[in-house]
Chains A and B, each alone.
Chain A
């Protein structure tokens, strides 16, 4: 959550929500959470485990559809 919340602070376009998976079983099921941390960006890009800052940023850019980062 740390990187996500700092990205939210850095950009007005970004919101970061930490979700306690066991307290929200329906949400966890809907997002197929089987391992934590699981990160879901714009319901479009997802990954499990902590990523270093540059790779996390790549995932964010991919989620907003930066064409240079598709695939």
Chain B
């Protein structure tokens, strides 16, 4: 049974008209660890990717594809990396449903162009960062 309703698909398809370049969704699944969550996450990501011919999906198993997982800094599943022309550092841990779903769609569009929707002041400050920054955002589906 599909996760996305036809109405959701129509809305996302419309948003995806703004996609400016290729996007790759790299999904990390490991059914031995979290079978149901990994399957649902894979299904959702594939349903989203099917709404634009510019989105591709690659499914990896962190226990098998260890080097890739390490390179992406992924050590838990399910996880999804949203990659554009390069890896910008956008990740989703868990199923990006509910509240995070709109952020998933927004991040796909943003990485497709590599253009951040931030003020020039913010971009200028970020350009001078003295160290690495890891931002974790905890949320719930509703």
Q: Which residues of A contact B (CB under 8 A)?
A: 1-24, 27-28, 31, 33, 36-43, 53-54, 57, 60-61, 63-66
Query: Quick one: closest B residue to A57, CB to CB?
Result: B122
Count of inter-chain pairs, beta carbons less than 8 A: 173
Q: Find A18's partner among B91, B119, B129, B131 (CB 8 Å cutoff).
A: B91
Picked from B95, B130, B135, B138, the residue with its CB within 8 Å of the CB of A33 is B138
Q: Across the interface, do A8 and B89 meet the contact criterion of CB distance under 8 Å? A: yes
Q: Which DSSP category, helix, strand, loop or mixed, fits chain B's interface? A: mixed
Which residue on B lies nearest to A3, using beta carbons? B118
- A11-B127, A64-B129, A66-B130 known; A17 and B137 CB under 8 Å? yes
Task: Verify A14–B137 contact, CB threshold 8 A.
Answer: no
Q: Which of chain A's residues have a CB closer than 8 A to the CB of B114?
A: 9
Given known contacts A14-B133, A39-B135, A7 and B110 CB-to-CB distance under 8 angstroms: no
Contact indicator A65/B130 (Cβ below 8 Å): yes
Contacts of A53 in B (CB 8 A): 118-119, 122
Q: Is the CB of B106 within 8 A of A19?
A: no
Please determine whether A11 and B126 come into contact, CB atoms closer than 8 angstroms. yes
**Which of B89, B91, B115, B140 gathers the greatest number of chain A CB atoms within 10 Å?**
B89
- Residues of chain A with a CB closer than 8 A to B121's CB: 54
Question: Once the chains are docked, how many angstroms separate the CA of A47 from the CA of B3?
Answer: 32
Interface 0/1 of B61-90, CB less than 8 Å to A: 000000000000100100000101000111
For B73, the chain A residues whose CB sits under 8 A away are 15
Q: A9-B88, A10-B122, A64-B130 are in contact. Are A22 and B140 (CB under 8 A)?
A: yes
Q: Which residues of B contact A15 (CB under 8 A)?
A: 73, 89-91, 132-135
Counting chain B CB atoms within 10 Å of each CB, which of A19, A31, A41, A61 scores highest?
A19
Closest Cβ of chain B to A9, distance in Å, is 4
